[in-house]
Amino acid sequence: MDWLEQVLADQDLPDAAFKVAFAISRHLDEKTGECHRGHTPLARTAHVTQGTLRSLLKSLTERGHLEIIRPGAKGANIYRPNILVRRA
């Protein structure tokens, strides 16, 4: 299942989480599959406030759809989508 379809299908996520996932997907590096954007451009692309963005990123992470790598003081977070394996 495609990552965006997976996020869209998760009924336990707020609807706006899909907008954040879409914003992340627009900035994925083709080689690494990671997004290296800061909060400001992601919030702008998703049409949410930065506070809402942080909350939705937390929801995506808690539900297993997203991994956030925090490189340190000056570096922007790295967002790595996770494809969840469906169990029969």
- Residue 87 is assigned to a structural domain of this protein: no
Helices (runs of H) and strands (runs of E) counted in the chain: 4, 2
For the chain, how many structural domains are there in total?
Answer: 1
CA–CA separation, 69 and 44 (whole Å):
21
Range of 49's domain?
3-81
Q: Could you read off the pLDDT tens digit of each residue along the chain, which spans 88 residues?
A: 599 999 999 999 999 999 999 999 999 999 999 999 999 999 999 999 999 999 999 999 999 999 999 887 777 889 999 998 764 4
| Residue-level pLDDT at 86 | 62
* Residue 73 covered by a domain: yes
**Backbone angles phi and psi of 44, in degrees to 5:** -65, -45
Q: What is the CATH number of the domain that holds 42?
A: 1.10.10.10
Q: What tokens appear for 36 in the block?
A: 């290296």
Query: Which pLDDT belongs to residue 88?
Result: 45
Q: Give the global pTM.
A: 0.89
Contacts of 9 (CB under 8 A, 6+ apart): 1
pLDDT of residue 84: 85
